[in-house]
Structures are given as structure tokens and as C-alpha cells.
């Protein structure tokens, strides 16, 4: 009797290992960089805006980096992760060890993180930067972020409704737990830490990293929740005009909150 | 040693099933209290007088046991919801831990029930065959004495060799899902067994088999089959299914460092897979 293997069964080992790897690189690493960049808001509107300028200096290549290095690996990790989560059977009621609870938490936080990230990208980015779609999303209160008015648009988006900061706090906490615990289990999966003593040491390191990243993430969240968006916008507009003049920033009306105002300013500034 | 709050009867609740694929049902039995009983002796008492609490005479309960000293693994079942050997489950201890004063017996939930507390554990042994959990010693000529093993190596290998294939680790593993193939009407034993094997072959092999692969890969003679074992570990249902809940090591009655073996096997298959990819 021969078995008809499904695609997933046939490539189970490879798929699981790719799933494990993408959790660290690029998805996990990206999350850390993203939260640290966001926390630069604590250094002021200028610091955050400069960080965003640096990212957007990729210009037309940005969309490829976004999809190739972030969205697609993330979608693979998330969708295959849902399959993994549903293939297990929770049994903490009979075997209530801390590790077993973490096994459950890893799957639940993964699902929370998936829902959060999908809504977070919709909220700020809008998923697709195509004219009509972006307009539609913006009218729904989504696709709020404008890269050349980075801090003010992020702050306004966050302050629009109390639901957002709550969702973000839950989402960040779930994502960071999933990352820190995931790095620890990944070390076992790939055979990096082997003995129980080594696993314990690695566990402490992962927990410390998790707490650190969580603090950074919450600092960023608090920074945007309390930012004066109007003041920030004035600073950003000044930075934009000057950065365009010095050639640091490629003019792009789509990345601005109020392009007309700045066109007028640029017009008067020209000799 | 008689505690003052000793009960006069031992209340036993048993999950019964008349045959493979049939519906399970519960029966209650009251056994006069005696000191130093274990689950096997309770089952023997019920077999001698198979009358339920309601006074109904029923078929004696079927169960498996062998060594009666926790080395064969055959009497493994769920006792008060947790998997363990019934021979080493002492009633006096169970009553201390159980606030309801009831002893609940169920067959293992991850294996097909044959009858009552007897399950078909063939999948455990199929997994051992898959990872070639043996040392090749047979041949057409005398292979001579095996290579010497260092004391350190012996001491590392011995705990891994204590596995009795009882199935506790598999029962507690959240990634080890039950595989049950129901026999069709008129199907021959051979055809049925083939279907069972095919279904088992793509399901998770489990921590016990991963541990045995590590044990025999560490053996100087066993190493001849190292690559084949690592290959088997990466097949469908291989080590990749592990979800690191670490329940296996928590429930193993022999305290085998199963998660250490899993991590060791994880490292070995990482190296093996990368080498294979670039070779």
C-alpha cells in the first residue's frame, strides 16, 4: 500500500525549518529594528523623522524590500504557523507544567500577533500603495501613516481612538513573547542549546531580551500616545522643505499629510 | 501505618469500551479498602467479582500487564487523568492526592483501544523500526568484538537505554495525535495492518524514537547506520513535528533526558541536512 503524501507532508522538515528560521530572520529581527526605530520618538520628532528618511531613502526599491524581506516571509511564517497551531492538541489540564503552558502561549500569542500585524499594517501602511485602494483605506481611518510627516501621522493615528493603543499594547506584548519564547524553542529545534542546564541559561537570556524589547516597544507606544501632533507636523514640514532643498529627500506628495501647503511654501522659497 | 481517615471502600471509575471503534462508557466499582494495593490488584479484585456499584454483573475489565515492576511498560494507562504505569501506582498514594477519593482509570488516549484498558501500541514499535533502533551485529561472517566504549560514553548512553517503550511521553505530547484506522467489513488482517502502517508512517514518530536514534547513533557499532537514522528523522512525521512543550521529559517514568536527546538529534539533523544540501 502506498500513501499519497500531501505537499506539506512531503516537505514537512524543510517547511518547518524555514518556518523556524523566518521567525528569527527576517521577521523577528525586523520587529526588533522596527520597535527600536519607533522608540527614537523619545529622542524627539526630528530623530524619528530622520530614521524614517533613512528608510525611505531606498526610494523605489522600498516596495521590493517591504514585500520580499518583510511581508512575504511574515505571511509564510504566520499562515504556516496557524497550520502548526491547529495541528497540536493542548493538554495543560492534565499536564500543567510551565513549559507546556508556554507551548500553548506560543500558539495563542502567534495567532494574536497575526491578527494584530494584519490590522497594524492596514492601520498605518494600508497594505497596497495603489491610488484608489489607498484612498479607500484612508477614508476608513486606515492607511494613516505618511513617511514625510512620520511622527505626527503616527501620533494622530494612535490618538484617534482609545481602541488602537489597547490593540497595540496587546499586540506588542504578544509579538514580543512569541519572539522571545520562539528564539528559545528555535535553539532546541536547531540544536544550539542541548543540555537542560544550557537550555535554562538560554531561557534566561531570551527572557532578558524579551523584557528589553517589550520595554522598548511600550516606550515607543507611549511616545506616540502623548505626542503633540500639531507641533510635530510643523517640525516635519520645516524638515521636509529643507531636506528637499538640500537633495536629501526625494519630493513625493503621497508621503505628506498636506502636500499643497508645502508646494506653496516651496514656491515662495524659490528665487 | 494506617491513617485515621482511611476510607472503607475504594471508589473506582473505569472507562470501558467493548471493541475497536466502539463508543466508550463509564462504570463504577466499589472495592473494600485494603492496605498496600496497587491498580493491578484493584483490577484483579474487580475481575474476581465484576459487579458495579449498582449491583449489575458485568464482563470483567480487560487490561494489560507484564513485569509488575515498572520495567516492561505494558500496563501504562491514564490514572486520575495522568499517564503512568498501573503496577507502580499505589492506591494509598493516589488517595492522598485525590480530593474526591475516587480512582479514575482510562485507556491511553493516543492509541486505538482494543478493549477497555488495552490499547494497540503497534505505532510505538513501528517508529522504532523506522529509526532502526538497533545495532547491526548479524552478518555472513564473524564481525569480531565491537570497539571499546569509554566510561563517559557508557554513562551518557545508559539512561537513554532505559526506555521501555511504555508510551507515557507520547500520551503527554501535544504534538502526538491519535491515529486510528477502523477495520472495514471483510478486510483481511494483512490488508488492515498495511493500512494501519501506512497511516502511522506519516504521523509523528515521537520522543521515544528520537531518543533511541540518538542512543544508537552514539554507539560505535550503531554509527554504521547513522545517516539512515538521521534521514528517517527528517521524513514525514519526523523530529520536525516536535513543538518543544517538553511534556515527554516531565512524565517519563524512567527520567530519560528526552529533551536533551531531541536537541541533540535536532543538531545532528541540522548538520546532516545542510551537508546534504551542499553535497
Question: Could you tell me if residue A254 is inside a domain?
Answer: yes
Of how many residues is chain B composed? 279
Q: Is B260 on the interface with A (CB under 8 A)?
A: yes
Output the domain CATH number for residue A140: 1.20.1300.10
Range 53-72 of B in CB contact (< 8 A) with A: none
- pLDDT value for B98: 81
Q: Say yes or no: domain B9-115 is CATH 3.10.20.30.
A: yes
How far B57 CA sits from the closest chain A CA (Å)? Answer: 32
Question: Could you tell me if residue A227 is inside a domain?
Answer: yes
Question: Could you tell me if residue A6 is inside a domain?
Answer: no
Query: Domain range holding A244?
Result: 21-259
How far A66 CA sits from the closest chain B CA (Å)? Answer: 28
Residue B205 banded pLDDT, cuts 50, 70, 90 = very high
Contacts of A90 in chain B (CB under 8 A): 174
- Which bin fits B36, alpha (ψ -120 to 50), beta or left (φ > 0)? left
Work out the end-to-end distance of chain B between its first and last CA atoms, rounded to an integer number of angstroms: 68
Nearest CA in chain B to A7: B236
Contacts of A19 in chain B (CB under 8 A): none
Residue A51 banded pLDDT, cuts 50, 70, 90 = very high
Q: How many domains does chain A have?
A: 1
pTM of the model: 0.95
The yes/no answer to whether this complex scores an ipTM above 0.90 is yes
B28-87 pLDDT, tens digit each: 999 999 999 999 999 999 999 999 999 999 999 999 999 999 999 999 999 999 999 999
Residue B4 banded pLDDT, cuts 50, 70, 90 = low
Place of cell 494495593: B37
Buried b (16+ CB within 10 A) or exposed e, B61-75: bbbbbeebebebbbb
User: What is the DSSP pairing of strand B102-106 with strand B9-17?
Assistant: parallel
Place of cell 513573547: A177
Question: Could you tell me if residue A165 is inside a domain?
Answer: yes
Q: Is B250 on the interface with A (CB under 8 A)?
A: yes
Q: What is the domain partition of chain B in residue ranges?
A: 9-115, 121-278
- pLDDT value for B239: 98
Nearest CA in chain A to B203: A9
Strands (E), chain B: 9-17, 24-32, 76-79, 82-85, 102-106, 113-115, 118-119
Q: Is B177 on the interface with A (CB under 8 A)?
A: yes
Residue B144 banded pLDDT, cuts 50, 70, 90 = confident
Res. A268: pLDDT tops 50 = yes
The answer to whether residues B13 and B103 touch, using CB atoms and an 8 Å cutoff, is: yes
- pLDDT value for A271: 44
Residue B141 banded pLDDT, cuts 50, 70, 90 = confident
Contacts of A188 in chain B (CB under 8 A): 244, 259, 262-263, 266
**What's the CATH number for B121-278?**
1.10.1060.10
Amino acid at each position: 500500500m502506498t500513501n499519497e503524501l500531501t505537499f506539506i507532508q512531503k516537505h514537512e522538515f524543510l517547511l518547518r525549518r524555514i518556518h523556524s528560521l523566518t521567525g528569527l530572520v527576517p521577521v523577528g529581527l525586523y520587529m526588533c529594528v522596527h520597535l527600536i526605530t519607533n522608540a527614537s520618538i523619545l529622542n524627539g520628532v526630528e530623530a524619528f523623522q530622520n530614521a524614517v528618511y533613512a528608510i525611505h531613502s531606498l526610494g523605489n526599491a522600498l516596495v521590493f524590500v517591504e514585500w520580499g524581506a518583510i511581508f512575504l516571509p511574515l505571511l509564510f511564517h504566520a499562515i504556516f504557523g496557524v497550520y502548526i497551531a491547529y495541528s497540536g492538541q493542548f493538554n495543560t489540564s492534565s499536564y500543567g507544567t510551565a513549559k507546556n503552558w508556554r507551548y500553548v502561549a506560543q500558539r495563542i500569542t502567534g495567532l494574536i500577533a497575526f491578527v494584530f500585524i494584519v490590522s497594524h499594517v492596514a492601520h498605518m501602511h494600508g497594505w497596497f500603495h495603489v491610488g484608489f485602494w489607498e484612498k479607500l483605506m484612508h477614508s476608513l481611518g486606515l492607511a494613516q501613516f505618511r513617511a514625510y510627516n512620520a511622527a505626527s501621522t503616527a501620533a494622530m493615528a494612535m490618538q484617534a481612538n482609545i481602541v488602537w493603543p489597547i490593540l497595540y499594547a496587546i499586540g506588542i506584548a504578544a509579538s514580543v513573547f512569541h519572539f522571545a519564547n520562539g528564539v528559545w524553542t528555535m535553539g532546541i529545534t536547531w540544536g544550539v542549546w542541548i543540555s537542560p542546564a544550557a537550555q535554562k541559561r538560554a531561557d534566561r537570556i531570551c527572557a532578558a531580551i524579551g523584557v528589553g524589547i517589550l520595554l522598548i516597544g511600550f516606550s515607543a507606544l507611549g511616545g506616540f500616545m502623548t505626542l503633540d501632533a500639531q507641533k510635530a507636523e510643523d517640525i516635519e514640514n520645516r524638515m521636509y522643505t529643507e531636506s528637499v532643498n538640500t537633495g536629501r529627500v526625494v519630493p513625493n506628495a503621497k508621503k505628506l499629510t498636506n502636500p499643497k501647503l508645502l508646494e506653496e511654501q516651496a514656491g515662495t522659497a524659490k528665487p | 501505618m494506617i491513617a485515621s481517615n482511611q476510607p472503607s471502600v475504594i471508589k473506582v471509575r473505569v472507562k470501558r469500551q467493548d471493541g475497536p471503534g466502539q463508543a466508550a462508557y463509564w462504570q463504577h466499582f466499589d472495592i473494600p479498602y485494603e492496605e498496600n494495593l496497587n491498580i493491578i490488584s484493584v483490577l484483579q479484585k474487580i475481575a474476581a467479582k465484576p459487579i458495579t456499584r449498582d449491583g449489575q454483573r458485568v464482563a470483567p475489565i480487560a487490561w494489560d500487564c507484564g513485569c509488575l515492576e515498572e520495567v516492561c511498560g505494558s500496563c501504562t494507562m491514564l490514572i486520575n487523568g495522568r499517564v503512568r504505569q498501573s503496577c507502580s501506582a499505589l492506591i494509598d498514594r493516589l488517595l492522598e492526592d485525590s480530593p474526591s477519593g475516587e480512582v479514575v482509570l482510562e485507556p491511553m488516549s493516543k492509541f486505538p483501544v482494543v478493549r477497555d484498558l488495552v490499547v494497540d501500541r503497534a505505532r510505538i514499535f513501528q517508529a522504532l523500526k523506522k529509526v532502526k533502533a538497533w545495532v547491526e551485529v548479524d552478518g555472513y561472517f564473524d564481525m569480531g568484538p565491537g570497539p571499546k566504549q569509554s566510561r563517559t560514553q557508557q554513562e551518557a548512553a545508559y539512561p537513554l537505554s532505559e526506555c521501555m517503550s511504555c508510551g507515557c511521553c507520547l500520551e503527554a505530547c501535544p504534538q502526538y495525535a491519535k491515529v486510528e484506522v477502523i477495520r472495514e467489513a471483510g478486510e483481511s488482517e494483512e490488508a488492515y495492518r498495511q493500512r494501519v502502517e501506512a497511516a502511522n508512517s506519516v504521523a509523528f514518530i515521537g520522543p521515544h524514537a528520537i531518543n533511541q536514534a540518538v542512543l544508537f547513533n552514539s554507539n560505535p557499532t550503531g554509527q554504521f547506520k547513522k545517516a539512515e537514522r538521521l534521514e528517517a528523522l527528517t521524513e514525514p512525521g519526523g523530529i520536525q513535528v516536535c513543538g518543544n512543550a517538553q511534556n515527554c521529559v516531565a512524565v517519563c517514568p524512567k527520567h530519560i533526558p528526552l529533551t536533551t536527546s531531541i536537541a541533540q538529534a535536532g543538531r545532528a539533523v541540522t548538520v546532516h541536512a545542510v551537508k546534504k544540501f551542499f553535497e
